Amino acid sequence: MIEWASPWAFALLLPVLVVPFRHRLFGRSAIALPHAESRFKGRSLRELLAPLPDLLLTVGLVCLVIALARPRVTLRDVVVESDGLDILLTLDTSGSMRETDLSTGIMAVDRLTVAKRVIHEFVLGRPYDRIGLVVFGEEAFTQVPLTSDHESLVGVLDYVRIGSAGPGATAIGQALAVSGRRMNQIDAPSRIVILLTDGRNNAGRISPIDAAQAAAALDIRVYTIGVGSRGADGLDEATLKSVAEATGGKYFRADSQGTLIDIFELIDELETSPAEVTEYSEHLELFRRWAIPGLLLLLLQFLLAQTWLRRGP
């Protein structure tokens, strides 16, 4: 993308635009023609080309103004000198996520769709972290391992559907256990799980509290988010609070799309990325591409104006 180092120079275009009219303003005469030539009927070649010096002068000055504005292309290179956080998004895809009580738009959409929209923005807002995705319902499995390729991650997220891991029940403990095992495979200074659900644990062989204690022993922090409108049945807030507290995380309640956005923004603030990022910039100056043609046009204009297309006194 072209940038302008001295954009103030474009103000000089205003007087440049007056150049074609200077003869009328200052009373200069027309092109000087020999007496014999002026007797020819019709217009001669010199008369037809009489405006050429003014055109060359105007275009040449415009080129010099552009050169003075210093167009340049800025090349930027971002170097990540240390890793960011490792974040595992653990998403409920059970049948109850079909409810549409979080939607605030004209068209009602289900809880899962709202959650995916908010998660999408959260992921793209953390470019230096490794992020993965676990989905759960009756079962739980890793949909996307921890990765820095966030475009691919959100691409897979878009295709996550209700019932991906079984629609009939909610295995929160199993989901936490899968997330914990996945996190235990990496060596990182800070490991975080964000678990989003609208139900209670009613499947799987592992209780949420046991899984939370195992995560805490591995120094994994768990944030839990309960979604659904106030008064909605099925959400086990007490267990979700206990899971968060056991791991040093926090529990949040999202009863609308707006509050879910606020929750992810708050988590984003609480878990600032430790990545050290250095940006290197190099400027490719382009002013010569305008200055040289501009000077050549002015030189040509001077030669024509002083010889063949010279104006009379």
For the chain, the residue count is 313
Tell me: pLDDT of 24 over 70: no
pLDDT at residue 23, as a whole number = 60
Tell me: pLDDT of 26 over 60: no
Q: What mean pLDDT comes out for the span 108-114?
A: 91
Tell me: pLDDT of 187 over 90: no
Q: Provide the percentage of residues in the chain whose pLDDT is more than 90.
A: 50
Which of 28-32, 103-107, 126-130, 287-291 has the weakest average pLDDT? 28-32
The verdict on residue 234 lying in a domain is yes
- pLDDT grade, residue 198 (50/70/90)? very high
Q: What mean pLDDT comes out for the span 267-275?
A: 82
Tell me: pLDDT of 155 over 60: yes
Provide the angle, in degrees to the nearest 10, between the axes of the packed helices 111-124 and 257-270: 30
pLDDT at residue 111, as a whole number = 94
pLDDT, the chain, mean: 85
The segment with the largest mean pLDDT, out of 36-45, 183-192, 251-260, 304-313, is 251-260
The verdict on residue 36 lying in a domain is yes
Query: What CATH number is attached to the domain comprising 96?
Result: 3.40.50.410
Identify whether residues 65 and 110 lie together within a single domain: no
pLDDT in tens, 156-167: 999 999 999 998
Identify whether residues 132 and 264 lie together within a single domain: yes
Tell me: pLDDT of 42 over 60: no
The amino acid present at 84, given as its one-letter code, is G
**141: three-class secondary structure by DSSP:** strand
pLDDT at residue 43, as a whole number = 61
pLDDT at residue 39, as a whole number = 46
Identify whether residues 157 and 178 lie together within a single domain: yes
- Give the Cβ contact number of residue 180 at 10 Å: 24
Helix (H) or strand (E) holding 292: helix 288-306
Residue written as token pair 């474009």: 10
The DSSP-derived string for 43-101 is: --HHHHTTTHHHHHHHHHHHHHHHHHT-EEEEEEEEEE-S---EEEEEEE-SGGGG--T
pLDDT at residue 194, as a whole number = 97
Which residues contact residue 165 at a Cβ distance below 8 angstroms, ignoring those fewer than 6 apart? 93, 94, 135, 136, 137, 138, 139, 140, 141
Residue written as token pair 């960011």: 84
- Give the Cβ contact number of residue 248 at 10 Å: 13
Q: Which domain holds residue 299?
A: 2-75+281-306
Identify whether residues 125 and 35 lie together within a single domain: no
Identify whether residues 261 and 289 lie together within a single domain: no
Identify whether residues 129 and 71 lie together within a single domain: no
The verdict on residue 29 lying in a domain is yes
Write a three-state SS string for 213-234: HHHHHCCEEEEEEEECCCCCCC
Q: What mean pLDDT comes out for the span 267-295?
A: 80
Tell me: pLDDT of 202 over 80: yes
Strand partners, 225: 196, 252
The verdict on residue 275 lying in a domain is no
Which of 26-35, 42-51, 68-77, 271-280 has the weakest average pLDDT? 26-35
pTM beyond 0.75: the answer is no
The verdict on residue 196 lying in a domain is yes
The verdict on residue 311 lying in a domain is no
pLDDT in tens, 231-248: 667 899 999 999 999 999
pLDDT in tens, 127-151: 888 999 999 999 999 999 999 899 9
pLDDT at residue 40, as a whole number = 46
Identify whether residues 70 and 216 lie together within a single domain: no
Identify whether residues 92 and 69 lie together within a single domain: no
d(CA 56, CA 211): 79
Which residues contact residue 11 at a Cβ distance below 8 angstroms, ignoring those fewer than 6 apart? none
Tell me: pLDDT of 1 over 50: yes
Q: How far is CA 265 from CA 51, 234, 282, in A?
A: 64, 26, 34
Identify whether residues 164 and 255 lie together within a single domain: yes
Residue 313: is it exposed, middle or buried by C-beta count within 10 angstroms (0-12/13-18/19+)? exposed
Asked if residue 301 lies in contact with residue 51, where contact means CB atoms within 8 angstroms, the answer is no
291 or 36, which is more confident: 291
Tell me: pLDDT of 78 over 80: no
Identify whether residues 93 and 25 lie together within a single domain: no
Structural domains in the chain (count): 2
Which residues contact residue 279 at a Cβ distance below 8 angstroms, ignoring those fewer than 6 apart? 76, 77, 78, 79
Q: Provide the percentage of residues in the chain whose pLDDT is more than 70.
A: 81
pLDDT at residue 146, as a whole number = 93
Tell me: pLDDT of 195 over 90: yes
Identify whether residues 192 and 60 lie together within a single domain: no
The verdict on residue 302 lying in a domain is yes
Burial 193-219 (b: 16+ CB within 10 A, else e): bbbbbbbbbebbebbbeebbbbbbeee
pLDDT at residue 196, as a whole number = 97
Identify whether residues 141 and 228 lie together within a single domain: yes
Residue written as token pair 């209780």: 207
